[in-house]
Amino acid sequence: MHILITGGAGFIGSHVVAAARAAGHEVRVLDALLPAVHPGYPDGVPGLDGVELVTGDVRDAGTVDRALAGVDAVCHQAAMVGLGVDVQDMPAYAGINDLGTAVLLAAMARADVGRLVLASSMVVYGEGRYECPEHGVVPAAPRRRDDLDAGRFEPPCPVCGRQLSWGEVGEGTPADPRNTYAATKLAQEHLAAAWARSTGGGAIALRYHNVYGPHMPRDTPYAGVASIFRSALESGRAPRVFEDGGQQRDFVHVTDVAQANLASLAAPPPEAALRAYNVASGVPHTVGDMAGALAEAFGGPAPEVTGEYRIGDVRHVVASPARAEAELGFRAQVTFADGMREFATAPLRPAP
């Protein structure tokens, strides 16, 4: 299969490139190599030796048309990631993530390319699944600043105010994006579904959970928490854990994410316009657990729990991987212990 991988020079995209080539696919990469993410590469882009690279913006129709020539399927990884610093980031997120996806989909229709694997995210769920001892499964009420300032981090029942217990999020959970990045990822899914209905194409959205692994970008305002903790340790600083460290997440290794992309390409096209899958390990851990595991493997210093918070963060998001296993045959292979032990000393992507 001839695959176009947008964002293929990035952290996740480069691992998808490596996995696709190892599986015998022909690969072309489209990447803007934005200086906010990529440093200069005097010796060539790492991981792309022997790969055809089209350098350009996914929002440029002519560039995308050229990149799609002769392609059978697209893995769309290109995106602006992270929660954003503040609302001034909104135009950039919407431009890259949503306009870029719309331009790509229109070009795919012109080129008659009918297979799309979209990098989506668990952030489309907002808060995860919660249950009240009195009122059953309920949506978590938005967390209030005065509660967070007082160290009350668990979301309350919207009916009675009691503390809720968390559970696994399935793909049928209603979307509830709570920050700019989340809103743009959900919009990407809607655009892909509209394209599939209009063209008869097949679209799979992979809702990545907390991805980590070798060649993550170093600490930036948009970096994931694993990268931030690892960068702190490398600088001799204690990882600073927000809230009380009890936030539940599903940490999934980047090599497993790459395999989920290959499984999606090999699967029959979905019957619905778009089919979403959680890409997760299925074994949750707290953010505090992750900081502690990294610090121990790195040799310290121990994490510092700060009580600080970001208003756009959610408390618990834990995935059910059952649909991906049943329909794609995908199951994560890298355990939390092994993955964190490796990541503690794995190479990181140079800072731009």
pLDDT above 60 (res 289)? yes
Average pLDDT over the chain reads 92
Q: What is the pLDDT of residues 234-243, one digit of tens each?
A: 999 999 999 9
Confidence of residue 220 (pLDDT cuts 50, 70, 90): low
- Cα–Cα distance for residue pair 5/67, rounded to 1 Å: 10
pLDDT above 90 (res 16)? yes
pLDDT above 70 (res 352)? no
Three-class DSSP category at 212? strand
Give me the pLDDT at residue 48, please: 87
Q: Which residue is listed with tokens 């707290």? A: 286
The stretch 119-129 carries a mean pLDDT of 92
Q: What is the pLDDT of residues 39-76, one digit of tens each?
A: 777 677 877 888 999 999 999 999 999 999 999 999 99
pLDDT above 90 (res 301)? yes
Give me the pLDDT at residue 85, please: 59
Q: What is the pLDDT of residues 132-175, one digit of tens each?
A: 999 999 988 778 899 999 999 998 999 998 889 999 999 999 89
**DSSP bridge pairs for 208:** 121, 279
Residues of the chain above pLDDT 70, percent? 97
Q: How far is CA 175 from the centre of its chain?
A: 16
CATH superfamily of 2-128+169-344: NAD(P)-binding Rossmann-like Domain (3.40.50.720)
Confidence of residue 318 (pLDDT cuts 50, 70, 90): very high
Task: Return phi, psi of residue 327, to 5°.
Answer: -105, -30
Whether residue 55 contacts residue 33, with contact meaning beta carbons closer than 8 Å, is answered with yes
Query: Could you tell me the residue ranges of all domains in the chain?
Result: 2-128+169-344
The stretch 104-126 carries a mean pLDDT of 96
Give me the pLDDT at residue 223, please: 62
Give me the pLDDT at residue 179, please: 86
The stretch 31-37 carries a mean pLDDT of 84
Give me the pLDDT at residue 314, please: 85
Q: What is the pLDDT of residues 256-278, one digit of tens each?
A: 999 999 999 999 989 888 999 99
- Cα–Cα distance for residue pair 16/264, rounded to 1 Å: 12
pTM: 0.93
